[in-house]
A and B are shown apart, each in its own frame.
Chain A
Amino acid sequence: MTEEIIRLERVVKEFRRGDTAVRAVDGVSLTIGRGEFVSIMGKSGSGKSTLLHLMSGLQQATQGSVRLLGRELSQLKDDDLTLLRRTHVGFIFQFFNLLPTLTALENVALPLLLAKVRTSVAEAKALELLKTVGLTSRAAHKPDELSGGQMQRVAIARALAGDPPLLFADEPTGNLDSASGEEILLLLKQMQIDRGQTIVMVTHDAKAAAYGDRLITMRDGRVLDDQLTGGMVG
Chain B
Amino acid sequence: MSAAAPLTEEIQARYEKIKREAEEGGYHLNPDQAFTMNLVRGLLVNEQRYGYPSCPCRISFGKREEDLDIICPCDYRDPDLDEFNACYCALYVSDAILKKELSVGSIPERRPPRSERKAVLAGSSGRLTDMALPFPVWRCRVCGYLCARDTPPLVCPVCKATKDRFERFI
A binds B: no
